[in-house]
Amino acid sequence: MRASRLLSILTTLQARGQVTAPELADACEVSVRTIYRDIDALAAAGVPVYADRGAEGGYRLLDGYRVRLNGLSQPEAEALFMTGLPGPAAALGLEPAMLAAQTKLMAALPANLRPNAGRMQERFHLDAPSWFGEAEQPKHLRAIASAVLRENLIEIRYQSWRAEKRRRVAPLGLVLKGGNWYLAGQVDGSVRTYRVARVLDCSVLDEHFVRPADFDLAAYWQTATIRLEAEMHPNTATVRLSPFGIKLLNALSQPYVKTRTRIEETADAGRPWIVRSNVVASQADIHREWGGVVPELASRQHVRDICGVVERALEQASLRLDEIDGVAVTEGPGLVGSLLVGVSFAKSLAAARKLPLVPVHHLAGHIESLFLQNGPLALPSAVLVVSGGHTSLYLVTAPGAYRLLGRTRDDAAGEAYDKVAKLLGLGYPGGPVVDRLARQGNDRAIDLPLTRITHADRNAPQLPGRLDFSYSGLKTAVLRHVESRKAAGAWPPSDQEVADLCASFQRVVVESLLDRLFAAAGQYGAASAGIAGGVSANSRLRADALATGEKVGLPVYIPSLALSTDNAAMIAAAGLRRFAAGVRAGADLNADASLTL
């Protein structure tokens, strides 16, 4: 600490009479340059230290000078209150006095306490200006500070908001806020705040003033700041930001962001949409009760839900029905009863409101969830759509253009998850439970075979065949395993065995999906790969896909979990794309349970 070093320089000089800078540097274990600066500081603090030049030269104190280390002078005593604030103290011109006071304080301490005394200064630091703010160096600060201390009236010329003014002020106190100095001064009986940097001229008068006995600087400042802040930001601004900018906004501090009243996303060229609401009415509870989807129950529940869902979607988007420009609806594929509810509702709504109606393929919705999530994709992109009803591989050659490369010959991957979960008594839907349990299991514990398709399908000779999937064999293998365990009397299984079975099943599914996806990407020269549909919520599939993408140097797109499983936003996104392309449906639109894409 500097004060303790100054002290040891002083005592060395007193004891030895004459000492050279290198000797002092040795004794204090600092550089010679530091000693030069310390000697300057001692001289500035009023210690009569002299340099004798020449070979025999060195520093010495004025003959007979004995510093009284424990008697503080008035400026030193005043400066003591600024000892923790070296920056502001220097701005007020109190630095030499402060250093001298610290040295004396140090001297007054018993030697064994000295090392500890420096701890505060070494461990706490004040940086007064706020971020992006510059510390001011007001010209008249020192003069005003001395007038404050000595209670002299001052006459100032200053720049107010409107004009240059002259005032005779009784300076009551100084405040440093965010790097700026403010003067609390009394004029004509009332106290006002002046920014010291705006003081153009200041003369300190000989005349003294009487400081009001009840004036409390801290209390005054608190009320003054509340008033000032209200005056400082009278207007609000509307600022347009990119999605990245909105993210950064949360990290931005005053004075750039005062209050954020409302953050509202708007579309831009890369993402010509914003999702204002995405309401999903899940029927999972009903299906769980029946161990799977009962088509008749599903469509009846759709009838009950659909009005409320549309109302909520509008409400969350803060939109009225007459502000809507079009209606998009899933025409297929899927359960015909459920599809019909949506198609009939959408047709009625469009007709009643004279709105254009846009038909959407369910899987196109899943593919568009990737654009919704990521903005423009690197094309062409190999995209896997894996859901409860489908496992299909597409090449997206241009936005809205999908070419089928392969699909499952029997069960869908999600369906396999649901059936295996049912077999193990894990409930509906199976995907999320199996996913969760698999994390605790050994994925090599049970050897489950997977059918590998090597030849074209007679029913779809245009497809290469090698990119097709098959999961019914896997499902049967799990069934066989369960039956053999039952026959061996090893049923019900332990938690670990269930976890092992889930992990082993999941490994085979995920490996087969990624194998075909990356094979297709390579074969068709894709610039990226994507995975969409309910099964893309699977944690292992997501992690392995990203890892493989990284390994082979291919960007991999996955929707957020909310956009993975069936949702309204993806249908709206696909609808928007077709709407822009001029696609419209007439009043004869019908649901198509096996619509192809």
Residues in contact with ligand KG4 by CB under 6 A are: 387-389, 414, 417-418, 429-432, 435, 533-535, 537-538, 565-566
Q: Which is nearer to Zn ion, 415 or 566 (CB)?
A: 566
Residue 379 C-beta-side C-alpha neighbours within 13 Å: 16
Phi and psi torsions of 157, nearest 5°: -115, 125
Task: Tell which phi-psi region holds residue 127, choosing left (phi > 0), alpha (psi between -120 and 50) or beta.
Answer: beta
* d(C-alpha 188, C-alpha 208), whole Å: 15
d(CA 155, CA 151): 13
Instruction: Give per-residue burial for 91-118: e unless 16+ CB within 10 Å, then b.
Output: bbebbbbbbbbbbbbbbebeeeebeeeb
Alpha carbon distances (Å) from 206 to 147, 152, 153, 156, 166: 10, 6, 7, 14, 18
- In the bound complex, what is the minimum distance in angstroms from residue 405's beta carbon to ligand KG4? 19
**What is the closest distance, in whole angstroms, from the C-beta atom of residue 226 to Zn ion in the complex?**
55
**What, of ligand KG4, Zn ion, none, does residue 359 touch, CB below 5 to 8 Å by kind?**
none
Nearer of residues 180 and 567 to ligand KG4, judged by Cβ: 567
Task: Name which of ligand KG4, Zn ion, none residue 406 binds, using a CB cut-off of 5 to 8 Å depending on partner kind.
Answer: none
Smallest gap, in angstroms, from Cβ of residue 435 to Zn ion?
17
CA distance 80 to 76: 6
Q: Which residue is nearest to Zn ion (CB)?
A: 387
- CA torsion sign, 294 to 298 to 300 to 304? positive
Least distance to Zn ion, CB of residue 559, Å: 11
Instruction: CB nearer to Zn ion: give 368 or 566.
Output: 566
Q: What DSSP line would sit under 167-181, residue for residue?
A: EEEEEEEEEEETTEE
Q: How far is the CB of 393 from ligand KG4 (least distance, A)?
A: 15
Q: CA-CA distances (angstroms) from residue 368 to 340, 346, 383?
A: 22, 20, 10
Residues facing residue 164 across a β-bridge: 159
In the list ligand KG4, Zn ion, none, the entry touching 96 (Cβ below 5 to 8 angstroms by class) is none
Q: Provide, rounded to whole angstroms, the least separation between the CB of residue 391 and ligand KG4.
A: 10
* 565 touches, from ligand KG4, Zn ion, none (C-beta below 5 to 8 Å by class): ligand KG4
Whose Cβ is closer to ligand KG4: residue 104's or residue 475's?
475
538 binds, among Zn ion, ligand KG4, none (CB under 5 to 8 A by kind): ligand KG4
- Secondary structure element (H or E) that encloses residue 8, with its range: helix 2-16
Specify the residue, 528 or 565, whose C-beta has the smaller distance to ligand KG4: 565
Report what 417 binds from Zn ion, ligand KG4, none; CB cut-off 5-8 Å by kind.
Answer: ligand KG4
- Shortest distance, position 287 Cβ to Zn ion, whole Å: 14
When the beta carbons of 75 and 332 are compared against Zn ion, the nearer one is 332
Write phi, then psi, for 363 (nearest 5 degrees): -70, -30
d(CA 187, CA 29): 54
Nearer to ligand KG4, 138 or 430 (CB): 430
Alpha carbon 326 to chain centroid, angstroms:
34
Indicate which of Zn ion, ligand KG4, none lies near residue 430 (CB less than 5 to 8 Å, by partner kind).
ligand KG4
Between 59 and 394, whose beta carbon lies closer to Zn ion? Answer: 394
Q: Where is 61: in which H helix or E strand?
A: strand 58-61
DSSP character string of 378-415 = PSSEEEEEE-SS-EEEEEEEETTEEEEEEEBSS--HHH
For residue 278, what is the DSSP state?
A: -
Q: Which is nearer to ligand KG4, 5 or 407 (CB)?
A: 407
Binding site for Zn ion (CB under 5 A): 387, 566
**Dihedral of CA 452/458/464/468: which sign?**
negative
Residue 559 interacts with, from Zn ion, ligand KG4, none (CB under 5-8 Å by kind): none
373 vs 387, beta carbon nearer Zn ion = 387
* Angle separating helix axes 413-423 and 430-438, nearest 10 degrees: 70
Beta carbon of residue 276, minimum distance to Zn ion (angstroms, whole number): 22
Which residue, 171 or 533, has its beta carbon nearer to ligand KG4? 533
- Minimum distance, C-beta of residue 251 to Zn ion, in the bound complex (Å): 37
- 102 makes contact, choosing from Zn ion, ligand KG4, none, with CB < 5 to 8 Å by partner type, with none
3-state secondary structure (DSSP) of residue 208: strand
Question: Considering the complex, what minimum distance in angstroms separates the CB of residue 233 from ligand KG4?
Answer: 47
Select from ligand KG4, Zn ion, none the partner in contact with residue 535, using the beta carbon and a kind-dependent cut-off of 5 to 8 Å: ligand KG4
State the minimum distance, in angstroms, from the CB of residue 379 to ligand KG4. Answer: 23
- Cβ of residue 250: shortest distance to ligand KG4, in angstroms? 30
Per partner kind, with CB cut-offs from 5 to 8 A, the member of ligand KG4, Zn ion, none near residue 411 is none
Distances (CA, A) of 456 to 405, 406, 429, 460, 594: 12, 10, 32, 7, 21
The one of ligand KG4, Zn ion, none whose footprint includes residue 368, by CB under 5 to 8 A per kind, is none
Rounded CA separation 351/348 (Å): 5
Question: Of the two residues 338 and 381, which places its CB atom closer to ligand KG4 in the complex?
Answer: 338
